[in-house]
Chains A and B, each alone.
Chain A
Amino acid sequence: MHDQPVPLIALVDVTRRFPGVLALDGVSLELAAGEVHALVGENGAGKSTLINIVCGLLAPDSGKLLLSGKPVAWSSPVDARHDGIAAVHQEAELFATLSVAENMAWEQGLPVAAGGWIRWSQVFAAAEQAVNLLGDPIDVRQHAARLSVAQRHMTQIAAAVQQRARVLVLDEPTSALTAGETAWLFRQIRRLQSAGVGILYVSHRQEEIFELADRITVLRDGRMVWSGPAKTIDRDGLIAQMVGRGGTTSARTAPLRQPQHGLLRLQIDRLSAADGRFTDISLGVRAGEIVGIYGLIGSGRSELAQTIFGLRTAAGGSVRIDGRPVAIASPAQAVAADLAYLPEDRLHQGIFRGLSVRANMVVSALGRMQRGWLTSSARERQATAAELSKLGIKCRDAEQPIGELSGGNQQKVVLGRWLLTRPAVLILDEPTRGVDVGAKAEIHRILRTLANEGTAIVLVSSDLPEVMENSDRVVVFRAGRVAGTFDPAHSTAEQVAAASLPDEALRSGAPVGSPRRTRAVRPWRSEVALAAAVCALIGLLIGTTDSFLTADNLWGLLATTALWTILSLGAAVIILAGAIDISLGSLLALSAGVGGLVLKLPYSPWLTIPAGIAAALATGAAGGFFNAAVSLWGRVHPIVVTLGAMTIYRGLLIALTGGAAITGLPGPFVRWSTGRYWGVNASALLGAVAAIGVYLWLAHFRGGRCVVAYGASPTAARLVGISHARAWLSAFAVGGVLAALAGVLELSQTGSLQSTTGRGYELQAIAAAVIGGVSISGGRGSVGGVCLGALLISLIHNTLVLWQVSANYETLVAGAMLLIAVLADLAWRRFER
């Protein structure tokens, strides 16, 4: 084997250390062209670290990474991709609010012309081509949020396939796929293999490994413990290598079954989900019984569990526990009814990473450990200690943060949490997902013990061997209905699997997605509603006042709109990046103040005007830059930074001006904004130029697109090499410049600057942006919408003036607007979901 040609990629003696842990310890690995190399190991063995090094997310501390024999040092996934490494990560991270095509394009590095201009036609053409590979009609222009989990994985894989990579890294690619989709994936892998692509394949699923792999490498505790051709090892041998001790395989054989079952503890009768994920489910579980629920992802099995537990709403049917009918509307009620649910996603739904093992363990059973109204640490410690020893949890002590434990031990703590509530019915959703083999066997043993003690257990899993070996009865879900019930002792895994598959999938092997929604996207909806509101207000103004349609009023309205447009765009750019800046009003005033002081210098206006404007814009940029830099470097949420910066900028302004107003600005500067050019008000022209500039930057230049993409998903952004620092620094700097521009405009329009100028402007600008359809959580919004939002704000100010409403109502109206905008944003997000 060592005489083979130069391997595509080789790791030589690679070591990577994290504080307190040696993640990889002198690991060497080679991947040849046309080879499928499976990487296996328990959780925490170093697989993720290794593939992160291979795809450029991490750099090794020592050792070499050779690409076709030449050493490489990548600083980001982008470098690796450039050298032909494509990766599909386990959790498909997507930019939910960006189109499918753009998502695929970011994976491969956005095609840009000189100056960062994005070639959109190329983006869409490439995406169409990749999707054609799938044989599943996916509209590449729709938001990625509308794809099902399987579709997300499939598009990522298709993009990677199409990329003509030399090395493809697949990290648990089948965890969300159906059998049909898995078959498609395997065909693609074989095709790539014959084309000479090297494939690094990480999976927990033994069957897949033995079906696909040419070579297997086993990692344990950061070291390579075995490596060789797949033919030379069998399943038991592989497990022994992974676990590093003999005898664990016996735990996977059939457990002790308790034939005599007691009373009916859980009884579900014709239960349906409100959202149609499952219909008409009836199921009974007796004391001492373990009922396995098997089905594909999206077949409704997790949804059923979560409905019983009060996390989702039921549409009809009833649930009885120990014969009592229970109406469960919340998890708290479920726990009160002696029900427990171990969630499928440990990291996000299970553990409190920063809290201690004890706090994690007792959180659901605090009521049992109180002393009167107060909590009792002694009782909590006692209960925790009992569970720790009963479940064999390895940790330093009960006060150790749970985040420091291995996956298996974390899962056992979550299991212990539910055992402390002494449930009559225990529902476990994928209890051994991402758990190493040793812990898996122990969890299975614990389940059987619990059942023998009289608990009714529901085991939801997509791991077929697990369901077959541990259940007394297997219920198969298919498309939200019960497709059959099997006795695992008298049926085969093939029968059960066949029942879970939709008929067409069996015949054609075509990809089968989970139920998908086909509702059309209407991206213009919010703008249309807003435009209607603007028109209605204008109509009202024309009807109730004589002075609205006068030229003076309209030009004035246009000038105000320009000001608000510029400032709101500044707020919007920062919100798009997933941040917020409440110092914009102060920054506007400070920039205008700096500009005003320069303008008043005793030189020719032809010198001071450009210098003053430049100084103002530079101040704005610097202020924005400062906000972003402190927030990034200090890892402090922008709201805190900009809350402090708000007083700092205001304070600097007062320190600069001594608290006095700035007046007596040069005539040409003041006259400029009210003058007309080509028949149009100069303020309006400036506003239009700013809006077009921001639009072009956000939609057609890589720099602006990075800002939007980062706001859409910071995690996905990191994977495709978008720098957090650059996204925020540019967004805040552009926001600051726009605030400064608005300040200059205000200075020119009013001819003076008070120390209170701009106070509260940031709230109205944020309101205009959010009303204009910018999602407060980042990543979605349009320049046109923001302009409409700014127009609405200006119209409201105009209304107050024309109706001669007292200034005391101005804040109220602005506040009400912001509140309505926020509520509308919420309604919009609910609608999208």
Chain B
Amino acid sequence: MSEKKKYSYEDELTGSRNAPEYRPGMPLNERIRLVHRLNYSKEEMIRHTANRAVAEMVEHMGKHDMCSTFDRFAQQHPQCGYGLTGACCAFCSYGPCRVTDKVPLTVCGKDVHLVVAGNALRRLAAGLSAHGAHAREVFISLKAAASGSAPIPLKCPEKGYAVAKLLGIGTDGKSIETICEEVADRFIDDLQRALPEERHRTLEALAPKERVDRWKELDIIPISAYHECFEANNLTSHATDSDFESHMQAFMRTVLAYAITTVISTSLATDIVYGIPRRSRINVNLGSIVTEDCVNIGINGHAPMVAFAICDIVGTPRIMEKVRKAGAKDIRLYGMCCTGGEFIERDLGIPLVAMASSAEMAVATGAFEAIVVDQQDVLPGMMPVAKQFHTKVITTSPSGRKEGAIVLELDYYLRNLDKIYELAEQILDIAIDNYRNRDPKRVYVPKVRAKVEMGFGIEEVMKVFNGSVPEKKVHGLAALVKSGRIRGIVNFGSCGNIRGAVFERNQIIIAKQLIKNDVLVTCHGCSGMGLLFAGLAHPDASKLCGERLREVVEAKDIPPVLHVGACTDSTRAGQVMAYTANAAGVTNPQMPLAMVAADPAAEKTMGARYAFVLQGIETYSCVQDNTIASDRFMDYTGNRLRTMVGAGMNWDPDPYRISEDILRMLDEKRENLGWPVWDYEIGTKEEIEDRIPDTVEIGQNLCTLG
């Protein structure tokens, strides 16, 4: 992208690090210095994070000798420079080998580019496995619900019908249960197939034709998710593939398997089984926790089976009777991480209180009788915190056990799936029984919360903006973008990192700059949760918008930041973008769109970001991916991909510079399409960081909302 900028405003935090700027050919030690300098202390985090509840809890934990993620990060510093830049290969027992300016080859003979590409591919494959395990559970749920083999209700059969139509599955004369079972079978086939000659039918049905044709030209159509995971590990195994281009081709195949099967298909199947998002208003963040007379249960992780079963029975008279007998008046569930994202989208009255990295701060409130966890992004550091309180940690997935936790899980072979509601009740019983052990004197809950409006699935977006499901078009949104009321659409997703950024700061700065300049924002996953906690996902945040966007969101009574769900619900953001481009009569790469993964952390975020790139959407991050040792990799992802798929990966640690890069890119696309262009303005620190929206409540007198 072009380098012409209007503003020179730079982030004082990033600027004060004196980190060298990345330039091709720079020595490895400078690259390591660059990454080392871009770290922030716990004290800096406390001062500058937008999430005042987390800042307060980290201080509280420090005062009470509880170790948090931020303490452990400080203890790790300085982290290994070879690992940080990707110049270390630890795949086989010849190594670990580090590739340096003086020692350019590993023992087996790989150069730095192959080492970095191999590390990136393996990280991507790990992310594919994680979302793939989630996908498998959801597909099994759908099949079980449709076939009646488990007592799981099919909450949105209408979507099952719509998805069958999308997939080209015949529906005539079939019952809705049969249709939904065939949808599950199709998804499972593309998850696990080994045979190479069969088409990837989900990909061909769900991706825009222009994209499918491009991917076929590049010869990167995956065989199946299982196979691409298998092959990514095979290809990078000891002395197997040693061709950089071949590594990158496998990388792109794996990204597509990740995107189509483990993200898009998962999100669609989840909607069929557990219901589609519904608009609702609720409070979020730690200040939403009820401390008086209430049994509190946190649900953390990603897999929906047990989590939704608990949700289905928690308010039943039978459970409420047990609650009263235990001496409490109420029982409440609270969402954490992406299970929280799934709950809060579906108007179940379950507030979201923490994302993955801040879940242990929620535990440290001492207000939870139980934390129910399944798999992924449940930090091991949660266990020692829970042990300091009466809080019981209960694991429900054999893939995500925790040393010292109570195991009440669906077994590895799902032999007890038909007993899922008994399992859910056992979990609730433990929490209710544990209420008597709570020490009220040790409960500490920061009085910080934000008002949000949730539930913007593709169906709601179509209702608000005159869309059509069969046409796969959001006509109204396209018209508003084309006519110049909305500059573009930018999605925020992925995790939040401790390294390379101040916790929950960068994405808030960028989002505020964008809505100030008339960009409609969508968000999902843990990074999106930061925008919720910052109060941007409520109609009252319209005050922070530019005039044009403000007129739109106020007329429609929607927030300028539309929350679309959990990490796998990037699907919905992708649909909003692709269906808007479709309605505008242009392709994704032509359309003013972008993806922001401000502070990516988990392996899954590798696939999450490149999935948008391969969809033709420019993607931006502030935290570097442990790949900076290889100029060839940096050039491939930052430049060559743009010529291959119409978009690239952009990295800049400065959120102010990234904001301008995005706005400039959106304007360039608008100019190319002949659509109106108007000035943008980068807000100062005082305007962007110091102005907390009215939707965020900080204080002792929080009113009841929603």
Same complex: no
